[in-house]
């Protein structure tokens, strides 16, 4: 009886997951027919004609990028924003960072300078015998080693060592333009050293990415040979440092070593000005409460994304009609502002919130197994399901998002303490001003946290924020509450339960075949057994479809030169084995909610350096 019940339950779960899969295919059909299929290109000429006909000015747009501790990605993000296809002088960029980041830089400078002084004192007393020097070097901090590495970079660029390396490379490769190659090689090595990687693996990876960007047409074999020479000639040199390296450092050097989001953005202001775009850097004071209109307190307030965005609302241009929001590693499509402006010229102050899809797999080749499959499936949901969800929920995603400035002022900006300030914004705009969300058919590529622990924390925050919003609207709008329930906890548990049952049945069948458990424990009708096994196949093929479908968004510079053939396919198949873990953060959020231990603080998503 138990056996029949177990297999009946398994068959129901397989059938249910098959139904969910078929439903997803149906969503693809609908979204392609009614949304993606009807997307018409928008040009500057179109906007000029409409604005002239309606006697309206081209809308001024402000792009807000919250970026605390984002020095590893912010340069690329600003550069992408400056490449957007729009009228010069009709949009601005605001990089919003936190005063805490500047304080952290000051602390780092003090710590490293103190270490340098200890080195100097130690060298005077002991004259640093090589063995003692090596022992002392091992005790230095990671920050100290990064400073030394950058000093090495300065010596490397100014000395004759680089020219010797170039001659070495020239013996391997034939170059048509020696000057160009010299500069490109120099830039590659300089970029590598500036990244201040602390391990041999990191050094090689960063150099590989830099070489690929400098020599996009070079074959893998050529790059491998350059990498080999780098490893044999430069690597031993930069991994060692002497007393001379330490004593040459001045305190002023440290100010340039520890770059912040603000310092990098400040460097790019003149570059933006030449392109006709104003780039502003907004520093959020630690005593700002987070509320809008702006107020201050005597105590330091925790940093959150909503808090940073609220502070920047008063910094946008008076000419601005629309505010756009992007995360610190976003790379939007170049036409996005044209589509947003078209919508505003058509609807004016009646324009809904605009939310575009996010393909969060740009760092695919640096992702772990679970993050890979999670990122691919998230991209599918944004392409096929996101256009349809707005009919039932005022869902917004926090990036690739555009909101009228007047609307944000009416609803007092973002909720600075919300775990998901984006979903909270959409719900409040709907409840207070009866403003919905419309689909913006222009993509933006982003990152997914590379490791399972980071992935879990991000999804846990999303799920906990969803449940938090449900609690807030329960007594206000029952219909909205139940929509949030069906699209949230109900479906999360459905996916979790079905996934676990399927995994248990697969593992049980395999263990019975290899003799680790009794074969009678999982004996079943052979036809049913074949049916159950074959139902796994569509999901593997679907994963490969996603892999090839979104490959155009992957940063291929991170693809290892040493990858064996079909390695990525093997990794993808392995990822499919862990698909049952994807709903786990959402399930855990429900458990924490029931136990009264839900997360209460906003958690920043980690980035992959670009």
Q: What is the DSSP string of 68-83?
A: TT-TTTHHHHHHHHHT
317 domain-assigned:
no
* Contact status, residue 21 vs residue 539, Cβ threshold 8 Å: yes
Query: What's residue 523's pLDDT?
Result: 59
Residue 98 domain-assigned?
Answer: no
Does residue 530 belong to any structural domain of this protein? yes
Q: Which residue carries 């909503």 as its tokens?
A: 306
Q: Are 53 and 458 in contact (CB under 8 A)?
A: no
Q: Is 184 contained in some domain? A: yes
pLDDT score at 154: 60
Stretches where the chain sits below pLDDT 50 are 1-3, 158, 176-177
Query: Is the same domain home to 29 and 128?
Result: no
- For residue 355, being part of any structural domain is answered with no
Q: 136: which residues sit within 8 A by CB, 6+ positions away? A: 119, 122, 128
Confirm whether 323 is domain-assigned: no
- Full domain range(s) for residue 238: 121-253
Token reading at 344: 């505003």
368 and 514 both lie in a single domain: yes
Residue 562 lies in a domain: yes
pLDDT for the residue 123: 64
Based on the domain organization, do 29 and 173 belong to the same domain? no
Q: 226 near 211, Cβ under 8 Å?
A: yes
Residue 219: predicted pLDDT: 76
Nearest CA among 209, 412, 230 for reference residue 307? 412
126 and 7 share a domain? no
Between CA 164 and CA 174 the distance in angstroms is 16
Q: Quote the pTM value.
A: 0.90
Task: Give the per-residue pLDDT at 201.
Answer: 74
User: Which pLDDT does position 165 carry in this prediction?
Assistant: 59
Query: Residue 123: how many CB atoms within 10 A of its CB?
Result: 17
Q: Which residues are registered as beta bridge partners of 448?
A: none
Q: Which of 253, 279, 302 is the last residue of a domain?
A: 253
Query: What is the domain count for the chain?
Result: 2
Last residue of a domain, one of 202, 228, 253: 253
User: Is 578 in the same domain as 472?
Assistant: yes
- For 13-55, the pLDDT digits (tens) are 777 777 888 899 999 999 999 999 888 899 999 999 999 999 9
Q: What is the pLDDT of residue 221?
A: 79
The verdict on 32 and 131 lying in the same domain is no
pLDDT for 1: 41
**Residue that is last in its domain, among 202, 219, 253:** 253
Same domain, 146 and 30: no
The whole-number pLDDT of residue 2 equals: 46
């Amino acid at each position: 009886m138990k056996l029949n019940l177990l297999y009946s339950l398994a068959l129901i779960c397989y059938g249910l997951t098959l139904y969910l899969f078929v439903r997803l295919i149906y969503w693809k059909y609908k979204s392609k027919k009614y949304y993606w299929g009807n997307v018409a290109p928008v040009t500057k000429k179109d906007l000029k004609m409409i604005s002239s006909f309606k006697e309206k000015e081209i809308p001024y747009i402000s792009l807000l990028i919250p970026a605390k501790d984002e020095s590893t990605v912010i340069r690329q993000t600003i550069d992408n924003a400056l490449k957007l296809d729009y009228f010069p002088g009709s949009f601005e960029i605001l990089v919003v960072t936190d005063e805490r980041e500047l304080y952290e830089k000051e602390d780092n400078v003090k710590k490293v300078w103190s270490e340098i002084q200890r080195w100097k004192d130690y060298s005077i007393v002991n004259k640093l015998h090589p063995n003692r020097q090596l022992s002392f070097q091992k005790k230095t901090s990671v920050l100290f080693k990064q400073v030394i590495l950058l000093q090495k970079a300065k010596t490397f660029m100014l000395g004759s060592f680089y020219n010797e390396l170039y001659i070495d490379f020239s013996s391997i490769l034939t170059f048509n333009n020696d000057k160009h190659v010299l500069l490109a090689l120099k830039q590659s090595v300089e970029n590598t050293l500036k990244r201040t990687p602390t391990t041999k693996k990191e050094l090689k990876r960063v150099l590989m990415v830099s070489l690929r960007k400098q020599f996009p047409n070079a074959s893998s074999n050529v790059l491998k040979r350059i990498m080999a020479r780098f490893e044999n000639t430069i690597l031993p040199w930069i991994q060692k440092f002497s007393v001379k390296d330490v004593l040459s450092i001045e305190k002023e050097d440290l100010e340039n070593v520890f770059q912040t989001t603000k310092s990098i953005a400040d460097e790019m202001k003149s570059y933006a000005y030449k392109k006709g775009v104003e780039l502003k850097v907004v520093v959020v004071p630690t005593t700002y409460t987070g509320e809008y209109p702006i107020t201050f307190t005597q105590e330091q307030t925790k940093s959150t994304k909503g808090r940073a965005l609220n502070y920047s609302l008063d910094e946008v241009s008076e000419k601005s009609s629309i505010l756009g929001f992007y995360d610190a590693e976003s790379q939007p499509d170049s036409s996005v502002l044209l589509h947003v402006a078209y919508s505003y010229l058509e609807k004016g102050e009646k324009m809904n919130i605009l939310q575009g899809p996010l393909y969060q797999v740009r760092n695919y080749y640096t992702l772990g197994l679970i993050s890979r499959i999670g990122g691919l499936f998230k991209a599918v949901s944004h392409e096929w399901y996101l256009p349809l969800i707005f009919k039932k929920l005022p869902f917004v995603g926090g990036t690739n998002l555009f909101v009228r400035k007047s609307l944000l002022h009416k609803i007092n900006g973002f909720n600075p303490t919300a775990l998901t300030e984006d979903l909270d914004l959409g719900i409040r705009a709907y409840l207070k001003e009866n403003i919905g969300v419309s689909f913006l058919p222009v993509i933006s590529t982003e990152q997914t946290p590379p490791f399972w622990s980071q992935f879990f924390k991000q999804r846990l925050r999303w799920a906990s924020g969803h449940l938090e919003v449900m609690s807030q609207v329960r007594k206000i709008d029952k219909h909205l509450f139940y929509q949030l329930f069906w699209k949230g906890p109900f479906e999360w548990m459905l996916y979790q339960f079905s996934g676990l049952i399927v995994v248990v049945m697969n593992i049980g069948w395999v263990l019975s075949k290899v003799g680790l458990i009794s074969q009678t424990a999982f004996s079943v009708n052979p036809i049913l057994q074949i049916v159950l096994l074959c139902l796994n196949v569509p999901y593997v093929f679907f994963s490969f479809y996603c892999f090839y479908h979104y490959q155009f968004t992957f940063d291929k510079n991170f693809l290892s030169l040493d990858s064996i053939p079909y390695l990525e396919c093997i990794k993808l198949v392995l990822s499919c084995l862990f698909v049952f873990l994807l709903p786990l953060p959402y399930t855990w959020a429900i458990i924490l909610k029931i136990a009264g231990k839900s997360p209460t603080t906003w958690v920043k998503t980690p980035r992959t350096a670009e």
